[in-house]
Chain A
Amino acid sequence: MRRTVTFRLVVDPVRCDGFGHCAELAPELVTLDEWGYPVMQAEAFPQSDRELHRSAQLAVRGCPRQALALQKIISA
């Protein structure tokens, strides 16, 4: 049985103040709504996608409110 590991970028909406850095650092994963708050891509991306993983990490580190987290999803 192989477990598949995927990742998803999640935002704490209470912390988020709509700086919008995440949309610049990870444009593949984040779009902004009309008020400048991030809309996260709903579907998780595979571990193999190093490029996406890298920009997600940049977004997490670049958030001035530290509102982002990279969520690891393990499914059997």
Chain B
Amino acid sequence: MTLELTTRRVLANHLDHPKNLAEHESDFGPINRLAITIDVLRESGITGRGGAAFPTAKKVEFLLQQRRATRYVVVNAMEGEPAAHKDRMLLATNPHLVLDGAMVLANLLNADSVIICIAREHVTTITQVKAAIAQRGAKRLQGPSFEVQTPPGRYVAGEESALVHWLNSNETLPQYRATRPSILQIGRGGVLLDNAETHANVGLIARHGAEWFRSVGTAARPGTTVTSVTGNGKALVVEVPYGTPIRSILSDAGIEYEPRALLLGGYGGTWLDGKHLDVGFDDDSLRPFSAGTGAGVIMALPHASCGVAECARIVDYMACESARQCGPCAFGLPAMADDLNALASGRGATQSLSRLLHLSEVIEGRGACRHPDGVIRFVRTALSVFAEDFNHHAAGHPCPFARGPRISYIPHQSDVKDLEWE
């Protein structure tokens, strides 16, 4: 095994219990007097780890320009993406590092509270984070207060506007924003919302500086990525520098087979043909293949599986996870799922291929959030990566694996017809 390739920065080496404050301070150094300046943050070039890869310093600057009496720092550990489990892994090993990052950002912004959002289904993580907050409370540190909020764990619940809307009015619904960059606010206070992994990295930048942070990764995306790798019944989390070839990430995670294709970024992400294993895992290297890293997800689809059937299954799930606010998403995604299901079974699928292409054109960019656009990106890259399979299926000759077991993980949806939205 090539474990040396793994660069452990934010993930802890021992994974059996979350580090308590004493262990954390002996590993990373004391947490009092920890601080970061906007210049250090800007020089570090850190980008958001939640999928959009937006420069964190820009977010902070944008918020500093607004005159606000109160500001909030929100840690997004919702992880609604079924193929991702990195935020949970991070909080289960190094919860204090995430809290450190949130603390220094709160101090930089003069914010007096930090809100950590964890899906209420992730009970263990909630307990672990609450324990970590209690340990810090005993130290009587200067700085922001910490609280845990637990919205329901739906796919779109972690979308920034949906999350902030939940904090405001207990509804996990994405909001329409006429202008961008959109201004997020809780009450009248400004909000800085970042992924938990981003906060953990800020906690390290505050200690080691911008230069250290830039020493691994690529120029455009410095640092490491905590990547959730799934395939053949295994689900692992590895931390590697951005730009690491996908082949070595897979071997790090212990996936030995040559995959047929890779799903990158998540269920709203992109497919990449299995022959491009030597491409680096960062957005610049992946762009020529119209793929991206997204929220740091790699799903390796083995040869003995059906890409069409996997797509049908995932789009089915994504259609159910639509908040059903916008017509094009509420009606368009189920229509796409129907076509994909017809293709997967190979029955009555002659029109389905052209209909899928037509639907992607029609739906694109017409939702309040990017949920439908993610599905369209997913379907489009699937159509090009599995082009041959799709043609066979459309001609009524599904592959032998179409009826076999699926490898993509779909969370249990108790009653699909009547999903409850809070």
Contacts and interface: CB of A to CB of B under 8 A. Distances in A.
A13 B178 contact: no
A74 to B, nearest CB: 14
Contacts of A15: 176
Nearest to B362: A33
B178 A36 contact: no
B296 interface: no
A45 interface: no
Nearest to B326: A13
DSSP class of B's interface residues: helix, strand, loop or mixed?
loop
Interface residues of B, number: 15
Interface string A34-66: 111101000000000000000000000000000
Interface string B351-372: 0000000000010001110000
Interface string B176-218: 1010000000000000000000000000000000000000000
B153 interface: no
Given A13-B367, A13-B368, A37 B327 contact: yes
B257 interface: no
Contact of B368 (A14, A34, A37, A39): A14
A35 B329 CA distance: 11
A23 interface: no
B178 A12 contact: yes
B417 to A, nearest CB: 18
B373 to A, nearest CB: 12
A27 interface: no
Contacts of A69: 178
Contacts, number: 43
Interface in B361-401: 362, 366-368
A16 B368 CA distance: 11
Interface range on chain A (Cβ under 8 Å from partner): 10 to 19
Interface in B310-332: 325-329, 331-332
B328 A13 contact: yes
A41 B110 CA distance: 44
B76 to A, nearest CB: 21
A34 B358 CA distance: 11
A37 B178 contact: no
A66 B323 CA distance: 21
Contacts of B325: 13-14
Given A37-B331, A71-B178, 15 more contacts: A12-B368, A13-B325, A13-B326, A13-B327, A13-B329, A15-B176, A16-B326, A17-B327, A18-B327, A33-B327, A35-B327, A36-B327, A37-B326, A37-B328, A37-B366
23 contacts: A10-B178, A12-B368, A13-B176, A13-B325, A13-B326, A13-B327, A13-B366, A13-B368, A14-B326, A16-B327, A18-B327, A33-B328, A33-B332, A33-B362, A35-B328, A35-B332, A36-B327, A37-B327, A37-B366, A39-B362, A39-B366, A69-B178, A71-B178
Interface of B: 173, 175-176, 178, 325-329, 331-332, 362, 366-368
Q: Which 4 A-B pairs have the closest CB atoms?
A: A37-B327, A13-B326, A35-B331, A14-B176
